[in-house]
Chains A and B, each alone.
Chain A
């Protein structure tokens, strides 16, 4: 039978006409945003499928008798028996600088009412991560502008640093502050006219979030002037699970364009817990076998293939980078859950945010013991490395001693000194949202702390003093800051200038 049809096919193909050949099928079942299609014998895995009324789908399950497609548009217009046709294209999204300042959906369609996006290029949503050869180790810092992070868990360009914590512990705030800081650095760098300056472009992927939260994030970015360097990919909670599943990959494809064109980009996945839930929903509807917590067997691969696409490329491959800040929400601080442990093992470190610290007013609520950056001080400038080298240890010692000191009334001098220093560092690290601090000012503050300039100030006043010193360094102490910024080192003359500036400030501070 097939030989007859093959003969006719060949005959038709030999005719010199403008005929187009498409592979078609018919919907046999349609439920929960998933269509099971009979036919489509030549469909490719992940191929875009065209349904009536401009509804698109992706072929995710290629089975013996049918094809399982997740639908991306309004499925209410579809019915059983409708024709589905292959497009010969894998799902792609527009990429390029035309997307900066825009809000797009999971397939790159504008959602902000600012008109069409005239992108010249498009990248497939699913791509293979860069291999071993084009990569190089992470050695260039990506400043978050958050002292607690930049000093203790430094992030480098091309790194994957997980932000993990319970709900309402400031996970999104850290990510948004990092984006705001990139915009601030970009503006400063572009204004300086430095030809070697490399701006960091940002992509914020909102998965399964409330529309109100996404709107608030956009407003924050706009108010801080960061939006011009940011692309937002939004698949809110109201969106179908297929879009929520796709959004991180779409955002990643947008970020990869920068990386492959020798630029630096930062991508925030907010959050991958909801992404895993969306994937679980799709998998259950597609009747894939479920495993632990009803997640499908390939839920690890779901995140590993996404996060492996973030990399630092070597000079031969354009020297670009894609840094990823995935976010995971834990339940009751339990980091041993299925999805948290998966993502922890994939990433190059994590910033763990504690609900208790947050409620005590220690914000950002970074847990010293559980937070780590596997890149370490390689992602810090020399000057900062010099002053922040011991801070993590000091703070960890403080947390331990603070717990014991509750039972001890008579403390020795060393313990008391450690407790005093720790309490002051905690105060120094307290930072309000959308208020990033430049690396040179952070260096100055840390230097002042290490050189005991805050010791005579009451613990309760340290944060106010740090704010005052910050303002001083940004104005009168600019010379020292500029030296740190330009050299990246804390040489003797720089330290001399820094000392005189801090001493001047100390005289004026009351």
Chain B
């Protein structure tokens, strides 16, 4: 896809987000209907690129937290409070889940950065030190 389309898709993503840069469903619907009406050349490719960019943007608004054990309410509320505090007026979604593969510990993903301290990662490091 040429840079011409990249710029177009960037503009579409911009129009799909509110003043805080948060993607909103209603705005996305508007963009999609506008595209349908305009029926631009290479419509399908533009939509695919738009999907990729929207996914990327949504991921930037998401904090994925995986815990080795079932999280209790106090942990979740503490995490939420901390993130709200840091994000101030901007909305950032917190997604907490349980990942038994971690055994114990946590894994936090922010866009493409992963912060991890779990038994699984320690065992993996140990195993690598034996094989390398």
Contact = CB atoms under 8 A, between A and B. Distances in A.
Interface of A: 1-2, 4-5, 7-9, 11-12, 17-25, 38-42, 54, 64-65, 85
Interface in B76-105: 82-83, 86-88, 90, 92
Nearest to A7: B86
B19 interface: no
Residue from the set A5, A7, A38, A64 with the largest chain B CB neighbour count within 10 Å: A5
Interface of B: 6, 21, 52, 56-57, 60-61, 63, 82-83, 86-88, 90, 92, 108-117, 121-122, 125, 131
Main secondary structure of the interface of A (DSSP, over half): mixed
B112 A41 contact: yes
Contacts of B108: 12
Contact of B113 (A11, A23, A64, A65): A23
Contacts of B21: 1
A19 B117 contact: yes
Contacts of B87: 4, 7-8
Contacts, number: 67
Main secondary structure of the interface of B (DSSP, over half): mixed
A41 B111 contact: yes
Given A1-B21, A4-B87, A11 B115 contact: no
B112 A39 contact: yes
Given A17-B117, A19-B115, A24 B92 contact: no
24 contacts: A1-B21, A1-B90, A2-B60, A5-B60, A5-B111, A8-B92, A8-B110, A11-B82, A12-B115, A17-B117, A19-B116, A19-B117, A20-B116, A20-B117, A20-B125, A21-B113, A21-B115, A23-B112, A23-B114, A25-B112, A38-B52, A41-B112, A64-B6, A85-B114
Nearest to B108: A12
Contact of A18 (B6, B117, B131): B117
A8 B86 contact: yes
A21 B56 CA distance: 20
Given A7-B86, A8-B86, A11-B86, A1 B60 contact: yes
Contacts of A20: 115-117, 121, 125
Given A1-B21, A11-B82, A22 B113 contact: yes
A41 B110 CA distance: 12
Given A5-B110, A8-B110, A22 B116 contact: yes
Contacts of B113: 9, 21-24, 42
A85 to B, nearest CB: 7
B27 to A, nearest CB: 16
Nearest to B125: A20
